[in-house]
């Protein structure tokens, strides 16, 4: 089972992001979190990226957004 990187709550194994809904929205806001999830899902569904690449781009996304937000 995957866990949220912030609150350690269990999240769905197939979730494209490593945070739960509540933390994601808390950190990025409702719209931004949805946009992130959508782009991650698109990348996954396209089959262009393997699991590792998706994780990497997620990390990059997160770092990028964190810098922007703070």
Strands (DSSP E) contained in the chain are 2-3, 10-11
Asked if residue 19 lies in contact with residue 27, where contact means CB atoms within 8 angstroms, the answer is yes
Tell which one of 3, 7, 50, 64 touches Zn ion (CB under 5 A). Answer: 7
Interface with Zn ion: number of residues (CB under 5 A): 6
Site string for Zn ion, 13-52 (x = CB under 5 A): -------x--x-----------------------------
Which backbone phi and psi does 13 adopt, to 5 degrees? -60, -35
**Residues of the shown chain interacting with Zn ion in the complex, contacts defined by CB under 5 A:** 4, 6-7, 9, 20, 23
């Amino acid at each position: 089972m995957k866990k949220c990187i912030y609150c350690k709550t269990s999240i769905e194994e197939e979730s494209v992001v490593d945070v739960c809904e509540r933390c994601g929205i808390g950190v990025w806001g409702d719209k931004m979190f949805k946009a992130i999830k959508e782009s991650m899902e698109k990348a996954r569904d396209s089959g262009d990226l393997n699991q590792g690449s998706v994780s990497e781009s997620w990390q990059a996304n997160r770092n990028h957004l964190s810098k922007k937000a703070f």
